């Protein structure tokens, strides 16, 4: 370790190499539960591309594992340390290098916080659409590493659709540039897409070229109460079948509705078994909202409340923002991230309810209904070994259900440690072997974020 620290300090500024165990302990893990975390040998805070290259060259020469980290808001254990590793924290590389309103791109370092980029883009009348729930603290590098999504994905898509090009430091310290700055470009294999969602297992992102969009109008929303997941699911399907394009479409199950009611005193009736929130931000948003209200009533909604202005919309959407805090109050939470076809959304919610009953646990589901991405949240007492074991079994059953319904084990949180075994089930042996071969091409010594994904 002495040699490792000495070598790292030769190419990094004073204060950028930290070995104090009281400090390094804070960089052991992200926000995922049920994931092991090791003890890092050192935490480094580079500020330039060249310094990142120095760290990777040193790690390669000494055969030391490297775990890249951003803000550690992830929920899959992808940023968890392994014993004796170098934790490579990218938070000091946090500059917006360029914001070009003509070409509608931003060039940023990986430590830029998502909300900071959004605010900077807004000053030029533009928007960076991907908006994870942790957007006020999560970093662009972490978003790229996990392929993050957010509430607006139903209309605007996920992170991968906005990454045009990347500068990436490889395991041996070489600098790879991928992609383009142009609106179109199909030269060669798409290494940019390959790197998005790779969780730091193939290289370390040090710069990103991101697409921006014209800023949308403030959205108008409605809330619809349903007597069952089936009626709510039918409304979701009909909205999409009729060609409407909401900017947001969120669904909360009965457990979540009760928790939100208790925390926010929303006044929702106990008969509400599902709450659907839909918003539009296009030029015909009033007409679209009226059509959606009619669809909800026809599907069986017991109450539909359209907002008349932005202020009322914000009040309605407050229920969605309260969902996670409301469920957190009930105990330790394990957040799953299973996406299914929209047409199977109600089946997924009913299946999760059955799993909760079978294991005697509380499980609330918050869904990005427009893209079928469900977040079942298993609630349990972490000090109770039996409950913890039942929580883990229910978590596994939920992922199995998602695959059975033609879905995927993760829509936006990534694989990390939490779902590594399940990734093998989803990909199959041929797909898994090819992914491992790709890993070996980029990282032949296996030092980059070892044990994650494949």
Residue 225 lies in a domain: yes
pLDDT tens, 282-292? 999 999 999 99
Does residue 25 belong to any structural domain of this protein?
Answer: yes
CA-wise closest residue to 363 among 371, 348, 352, 351: 352
Q: Which two tokens stand for residue 259?
A: 């928790």
CA atoms within 13 A on the CB side of 52: 28
- pLDDT (0 to 100) of residue 157: 93
Mean pLDDT over 382-398 rounds to: 95
Two structure tokens written together for 339: 């996406």
Q: Do 203 and 109 fall into the same domain?
A: yes
The answer as to whether 420 is a domain residue is: no
pLDDT digits (tens, 9 = 90+) for 312-322: 999 888 888 89
pLDDT at 270 over 90: no
Is 254 found in the same domain as 202?
A: no
Task: Give the CA angle between residues 79, 355, 428 to the nearest 5°.
Answer: 55
Q: How many domains does the chain have?
A: 3
Secondary structure letter of residue 344 according to DSSP? G
Same domain (yes/no): 28, 47: yes
Residue 375 is assigned to a structural domain of this protein: no
Helix 385-404 vs helix 420-442: crossing angle, to nearest 10: 70
Q: Is 311 helix (H, G, I), strand (E, B) or coil?
A: helix
Shared domain for 294 and 257, answered yes or no, is yes
> What percentage of the chain reaches a pLDDT higher than 90?
90
Greatest alpha-carbon pair distance for the chain in Å reads 70
Residue 266 pLDDT exceeds 90: no
Can you give the pLDDT at residue 269? 80
Tell me the sheet residues that pair with 225: 275, 303
Tens digit of pLDDT for each residue in 122-159? 999 999 999 898 889 999 999 999 999 988 889 999 99
Question: Which tens digit of pLDDT belongs to each residue from 155-199?
Answer: 999 999 999 999 999 999 999 999 999 999 999 999 999 999 999
- For residue 307, pLDDT over 80 is answered with yes
Q: Establish if 28 belongs to a structural domain.
A: yes
State the Cα angle at 93 between 90 and 98, rounded to 5°: 135
Model pLDDT, residue 34: 78
Do 101 and 198 lie in one domain? The reply is yes
Confidence (pLDDT) at 93: 98
Average pLDDT over the chain, rounded to whole?
95
Question: Are 27 and 83 found together in one domain?
Answer: yes
In a domain, 397, yes or no: no
Question: Is 281 part of a structural domain of the chain?
Answer: yes
- Cβ contact 205:142 at 8 Å: no
Same-domain check for residues 233 and 174: no
Give percent of the chain above pLDDT 70. 100
- Gap between the Cα atoms of 71 and 249, Å rounded: 27
Q: Are 249 and 239 in contact (CB under 8 A)?
A: yes
Domain enclosing residue 253, as ranges = 217-263+272-317
Q: State how far the Cα of 11 lies from the Cα of 131, in Å rounded to an integer.
A: 35
Does a structural domain hold residue 101? yes
For position 321, what pLDDT does the model report? Answer: 87
Query: Alpha-carbon distance 56 to 52, whole Å?
Result: 6
Q: What is the mean pLDDT of residues 104-132?
A: 97
Residue 178 shares a structural domain with residue 236: no
Evaluate if residue 40 carries a pLDDT over 90: yes
What is the per-residue pLDDT across 325-348, written as a single tens digit (0 to 9) for each?
999 999 999 998 999 999 999 999
204 vs 334, which has greater pLDDT?
204
Structure tokens at 187: 């030269």
Burial of residue 210 (number of CB atoms within 10 Å: 0-12, 13-18, 19+): buried
The span from the CA of 316 to the CA of 219, in Å, is 12
CATH number of the domain within which 58 lies? 3.30.43.10
Task: Name every residue whose Cβ is closer than 8 Å to that of residue 94 and which is 6 or more positions away in sequence.
Answer: 109, 111, 112, 113, 139
Helix, strand and coil in the chain, % to nearest 5: 40, 20, 40
């Amino acid at each position: 370790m002495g040699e490792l620290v000495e070598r790292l300090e030769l190419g990094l500024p004073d204060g950028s190499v930290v070995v104090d165990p009281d400090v390094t302990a804070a960089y052991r893990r992200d926000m995922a539960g049920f994931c092991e975390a090791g003890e890092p040998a050192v935490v480094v805070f580079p500020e330039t591309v060249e310094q990142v290259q120095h760290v990777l060259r040193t790690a390669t020469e000494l055969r030391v594992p490297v775990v890249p980290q951003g803000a550690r808001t992830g929920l899959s254990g992808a940023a968890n340390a392994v014993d004796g590793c170098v934790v490579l924290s990218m938070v000091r590389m946090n500059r917006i290098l360029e914001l070009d309103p003509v070409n509608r791109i931003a060039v940023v370092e990986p430590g830029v916080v998502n909300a900071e980029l959004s605010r900077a883009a807004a000053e030029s009348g533009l928007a960076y659409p991907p908006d994870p729930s942790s957007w006020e603290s999560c970093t662009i590098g972490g978003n790229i590493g996990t392929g993050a999504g957010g509430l607006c994905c139903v209309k605007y898509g996920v992170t991968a659709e906005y990454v045009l090009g990347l500068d990436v430091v490889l395991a041996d310290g070489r600098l790879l540039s991928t992609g383009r700055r142009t609106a179109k470009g199909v030269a060669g294999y798409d290494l940019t897409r390959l790197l998005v969602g790779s969780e730091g297992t193939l290289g370390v992102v040090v710069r990103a070229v991101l697409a921006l969009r014209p800023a949308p109008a403030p959205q108008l929303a409605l809330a619809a109460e349903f007597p069952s997941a089936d009626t709510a699911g039918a409304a979701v399907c009909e909205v999409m079948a009729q060609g409407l394009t909401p900017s947001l479409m969120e669904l909360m199950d009965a457990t979540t509705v009760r928790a939100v009611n208790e925390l926010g005193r929303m006044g929702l009736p106990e008969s509400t078994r599902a709450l659907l929130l839909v918003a539009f931000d296009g030029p015909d948003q009033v007409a679209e909202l009226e059509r959606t209200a009619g669809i909800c009533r026809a599907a069986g909604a017991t109450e539909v409340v359209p907002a008349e202005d932005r202020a009322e919309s914000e009040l309605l959407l407050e229920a969605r923002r309260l969902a996670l805090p409301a469920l957190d109050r009930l105990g330790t939470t394990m957040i799953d991230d299973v996406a299914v076809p929209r047409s199977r959304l109600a089946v997924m919610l009913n299946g999760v309810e059955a799993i909760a009953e079978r294991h005697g646990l509380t499980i609330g589901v918050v869904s990005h209904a427009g893209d079928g991405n469900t977040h079942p949240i298993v609630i349990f007492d972490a000090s109770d070994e039996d409950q913890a074991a039942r929580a883990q079994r229910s978590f596994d059953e939920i992922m199995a259900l998602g695959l059975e319904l033609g879905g995927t084990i993760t829509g936006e949180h990534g694989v990390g440690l939490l779902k590594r075994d399940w990734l093998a089930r989803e990909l199959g042996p041929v797909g898994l072997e090819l992914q491992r071969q790709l890993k070996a091409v980029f990282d032949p010594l296996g030092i980059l974020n070892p044990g994650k994904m494949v």
